[in-house]
Amino acid sequence: MKAYLYDNLDGDQRLPHDSGKPVDVEELSKLGVHYYRIDTVEGVNQLAAARGYRNRDEITVSPATMGAAYEAKVKSFFDEHLHEDEEIRYIRDGVGYFDVRNKGDQWVRVQLEKDDLLILPAGIYHRFTTDETNYIQAMRLFKEEPKWTPLNRSGELDGNPYRKEYVSHFLG
C-alpha cells in the first residue's frame, strides 16, 4: 500500500498521478478509511466475522475477463460516487488505485496490491481504477443485503442520510 495526494494533472487515469506528497495510514483512518495487510484468507475470515460480513465474491478486472466491456467498465468505476454501505476490498493479485476525498476535498490516491485490504466507510466520495497493467483480482465482501449501488456525486446527495452521517462524523 502506498498513499499520496493525487496530482490532478491531465492524462490517463491509470497513470500513477503521484504528486510526491505522501499520506499516512493515520490520516486515512481520520477519514474513516482503514487499511490492513492480511496474508491469509483466515485473517480475512476473522475480520469479516467481526464486522458481520457474511458474503463475498471475486472479481477480475482485466480485458481478458471483460473483453470489449473493459474500457467502459474502468471508466465507470472512475466516476466519483458514494455507497450507503461500507466498501471492503481484499486484493488477491494485480494492482489498483482507490481514490478517496480528504477533508479539503482533495483526492488521496491509495495504491493497493496483493494482500492489501481496504475499508471505505459508507458515505465517502471515492472512485477506482486499474493501473497501466490493466489487471486486478479482488475479493468483495458484503453483508446479507449489500447496498453498494454507486450514487454519483451531486448536490442532491448532500441530503442523503448516509452522506450526512459521514460528513458529521469525519468532516465536521
Closest residue to ligand KMT using C-beta atoms? 128
Contacts (Cβ under 8 Å, ≥6 apart) of 72? none
Please check if 87 is assigned to a binding site: yes
Please check if 83 is assigned to a binding site: yes
Q: Which of 17, 89, 101, 163 binds ligand KMT (CB under 6 A)?
A: 89
Task: Please check whether residue 33 is in contact with residue 125, taking contact to mean a CB–CB distance below 8 angstroms.
Answer: no
Contacts (Cβ under 8 Å, ≥6 apart) of 35? 1, 25, 28, 29, 110, 116, 117, 118, 119
Under rule CB under 5 A, which residues in 81-120 are in contact with Ni ion? 87
59 counts as binding ligand KMT under rule CB under 6 A: yes
Under rule CB under 6 A, which residues in 101-140 are in contact with ligand KMT? 128, 136, 138, 140
Q: Is 161 exposed, middle or buried (0-12, 13-18, 19+ CB in 10 A)?
A: exposed
Q: Is residue 77 within a helix (H) or strand (E), and if so which, with residue range?
A: helix 70-77
Residue whose entry in the numeric block shows the C-alpha cell 494482500: 115
Rounded least distance, CB 71 to ligand KMT, Å = 14
23 counts as binding ligand KMT under rule CB under 6 A: no
> Could you tell which of Ni ion, ligand KMT, none binds residue 34, using a CB distance below 5 to 8 A set by kind?
none
Q: By the criterion CB under 5 A, which residues form the site for Ni ion? A: 87
Q: By the criterion CB under 6 A, which residues form the site for ligand KMT? A: 59, 61, 77, 87, 89, 96, 128, 136, 138, 140
